[in-house]
Amino acid sequence: MKKIIYLIAVLIITSTLQAEEGVLVDIADGDTLYFETNNKTNKCKMAYIDSPESAYNSKLQRDLQMCKDIPLTAMLDAGDSATKNAKKILQIGKTYSYSIENNDANEKICEVGLGNGITYSEQMLIDGYAVLWEVFKIKQNQQNFNSLLMHAKNKNSGLWGNSSKQGEALKCLDKTRGNNKVPDVNQASK
């Protein structure tokens, strides 16, 4: 039954968005991808997730201000780890279908279907290299993504299992994004 609900949630996410197809030309970090579509390069911020930055920029500066105990090098190392995971999931030069949820002049908010009934954002959460980011328009989507985040935390997946400052960087991002209120699966079942 859970699989059926999960598949329905994925279909709702992908069916309500504007679809594009493009060649992946760059993976900037765990939540920022570049696609070439119709001879135009589109910067896509991945919907629903946030991952540590892999380059010094204004978002990294804001993250460091909120995560004062995390050194710059640790935040960048966490971003590099998220980027490496993204490169395991996606292949530069390959064509992907991506859906655009929000399209403004500076940045598109996108989701990438992986063709296996799961989206890229979901896979990054499962692997433990991202936290929740966007306000969810459909409650069912929020419940699905919260469940994936809880699962990664409880399994110590990816950066969640890293006891160094890289792991602390992801935990701080999670806390600053307000996701520290997600109940522990083990506690919820007791």
Among the residue ranges 8-17, 70-79, 89-98, 141-150, the one predicted with the least confidence is 8-17
Mean pLDDT on 173-179? 85
- The answer to whether the CB of 79 falls within 8 A of the CB of 8 is no
* pLDDT for residue 103: 64
CB atoms within 10 A of CB 106: 6
Q: What is the mean pLDDT of the chain?
A: 84
Q: What is the 3-state secondary structure (H, E, C) of 162-177?
A: CCCHHHHHHHHHHHHC
Q: Which CATH fold would you assign to the domain 2-180?
A: OB fold (Dihydrolipoamide Acetyltransferase, E2P) (2.40.50)
The more confidently predicted of residues 171 and 116 is 171
The more confidently predicted of residues 177 and 128 is 128
Whether residue 41 is predicted with pLDDT greater than 80 in this model: the reply is yes
Whether residue 115 is predicted with pLDDT greater than 90 in this model: the reply is no
- Gyration radius from the chain CA atoms: 16
Nearest to 43 by CA among 105, 103, 108: 108
Instruction: Please give the share of the chain, as a percent, with pLDDT higher than 90.
Output: 63
Half-sphere exposure of 136 (CA within 13 A, CB side): 15
Going by pLDDT thresholds of 50, 70 and 90, the confidence category of residue 177 is confident
pTM over 0.85: no
Whether residue 8 is predicted with pLDDT greater than 70 in this model: the reply is no
Mean pLDDT on 135-163? 87
Whether residue 89 is predicted with pLDDT greater than 90 in this model: the reply is yes
The token pair that represents 70 in the structure block = 């995390």
Going by pLDDT thresholds of 50, 70 and 90, the confidence category of residue 162 is confident
Whether residue 4 is predicted with pLDDT greater than 70 in this model: the reply is no
CA–CA distance, 45 with 59 (Å, rounded to integer):
13
Distance of CA 130 to the CA centre of its chain: 5
Domain parsing of the chain, residue ranges: 2-180
Whether residue 137 is predicted with pLDDT greater than 80 in this model: the reply is no
Whether residue 183 is predicted with pLDDT greater than 80 in this model: the reply is no
